[in-house]
Amino acid sequence: MSKKVDLAPLLLAWYAQNGRSFPWRFKGDARPDPYVIWVSEIMLQQTTIATGLPYFERWMKTFPDLKTLAQASLDDVLKAWQGLGYYTRAKKLHACAQQVLKMGGFPRDREALLRLPGIGPYTASAIAAFAFHQPTTVVDGNVVRVLSRLYGLTEVVTPEKIYPLAEKLTDKKHPADYASAIMDLGATLCRKTNPLCAQCPWQAYCVACKKGLTASIPCRQKIAKQVVRGAVCVIVNKKNQIFIQQADRKGLLGGLWELPWSKQATWRPMKARWHQCPQPIHHIFTHIDLTLDIYATEAEKVALPGRFISPTDVSKYAFSSLMKKVLSSIGSTPSSVFQSVAKD
Ligand code: SF4
């Protein structure tokens, strides 16, 4: 690719015609509320826009500003986040809101943003660019894919590796529009499969397109998932209630409610006559392929921190997607789960 061509204006011209609209996006010189930018950036990590958009809209109704979020209980925050996964992000969002409120508002520069809970290099750059029009470079998965193809990079590329190239290309006078534009290019034209090169403003300069390498670039590193078989335990009382407990706040799913469970197949929370249910639960995390065997028992008292709840009260508590799967397999009559397996 010729180094003399200034590619940013081509991209910005394309963006002016084709850029997508979102409730958190402000084009040109508009200065949006950093709170809106921050929430959208945290929420849309690891989540598609189609999934994240209704969550974002509900969130803004529940927590319309920084103060409301900072003063909410962690339980309410986790409840609003329920279903998005990666609950550590919700906890850090809450902690960050409290810290930023004390500071009197978000800092404008990337380095200060990086010191806040839950804000990593990508999010710090995004807030600095989108909310404060700071000349920072934003590199997400879309940007990695577009630039790997543009420059014909045939090795595995990480955001850190590609940052110097991305920084050179960034339009420092229009950092917000430039960042939105390259992300939109990646999402709409330079797609993972079947990129629409004929419509791309960078087609004439793109190495992968010229050499027919778009199917093999970016080169992906295969990460083998850890396969784990564990156990989840359904404790039912005579009132048809199930025992739940709140996960350790420090852990990955900390603060959420759950049935007692472990990644160890032989683990049980207490001595009892446990009966194995025929259907296990299968759940995929980013790095773990988890199968949980379900064991049921009957007990009126449990010497563990937690409580018995009726199936009709399940919606009042925040559960992870994994636990929702377990609960839905138990259904509205937990005692029948126990009774059906206890007969065997
Ligand atoms: S020409 Fe094709 S492969 Fe190259 S950047 Fe554009 S869409 Fe991506």
Tens-digit pLDDT profile for residues 182-199: 999 999 999 999 999 999
Round to whole Å and give the CA distance between 152 and 167.
17
Architecture of domain 7-211: Orthogonal Bundle (1.10)
Residue 209 Cβ < 6 Å to ligand 1: yes
Check pocket membership of 202 for ligand 1, CB cut-off 6 A.
Answer: yes
In the prediction, which pLDDT does 221 show?
Answer: 76
Which pLDDT belongs to residue 344?
Answer: 56
Model confidence at 91, pLDDT cuts 50, 70, 90, reads: very high
Which residues are registered as beta bridge partners of 160?
A: none
User: SS3 for 181?
Assistant: helix
pLDDT at position 2:
46
Q: Compute the distance from residue 166 Cα to the ligand 1 centre, in Å.
A: 15
Report domain extents, the chain: 7-211, 226-342
Q: Is the pLDDT of residue 7 over 80?
A: yes
β 275-276/288-298 pair status: antiparallel
Mutation test residue for ligand 1: of 15, 206, 207, 219, the one with most atoms within 8 Å of CB: 206
Across the range 71-91, mean pLDDT stands at 90
Hey, which of 10, 147, 150 would you mutate to test ligand 1's pocket, going by the most ligand atoms within 8 Å of its Cβ? 150
The residue whose CA has the least distance to atom 8 of ligand 1 is 190
Does the structure show a pLDDT above 60 at 1?
Answer: no
Atom 1 (ligand 1): residue with closest C-alpha?
203
Which is nearest to 127 in space by CA: 115, 144, 112, 110? 110
- Tell me the per-residue pLDDT of 37-66, one tens digit each, with 9 for 90 and over: 999 999 998 788 999 999 999 999 999 999
Instruction: For residues 289 and 284, give the distance between their C-alpha atoms in angstroms, rounded to a whole number.
Output: 5
CA atoms of 177 and 117, how far apart (whole Å): 26
Q: Which residue has the tokens 């797609």?
A: 191
Nearest CA to ligand 1 atom 2: 197
- Alpha carbons 324 and 326: distance in angstroms, whole number: 5
| Residue 222, token pair as written in the block | 């295969």
114, 74 contact by CB (below 8 A): no
CATH number of 226-342: 3.90.79.10
- How many angstroms separate the alpha carbon of residue 110 from the centre of ligand 1? 29
Whether 41 is catalytic is: yes
Helix (H, G, I), strand (E, B) or coil at 167: helix
- Sequence-distant (6+) residues with CB within 8 A of 344 are 275
pLDDT band at residue 26, thresholds of 50, 70 and 90?
confident
- Above pLDDT 90, what percent of the chain? 73
The tokens of 99 are what? 């810290």
Label residue 341 by pLDDT band (50, 70, 90): low
Q: Whose CA is nearest to atom 4 of ligand 1?
A: 206
Give the CA count within 13 Å in the CB-facing half-sphere of 316: 6
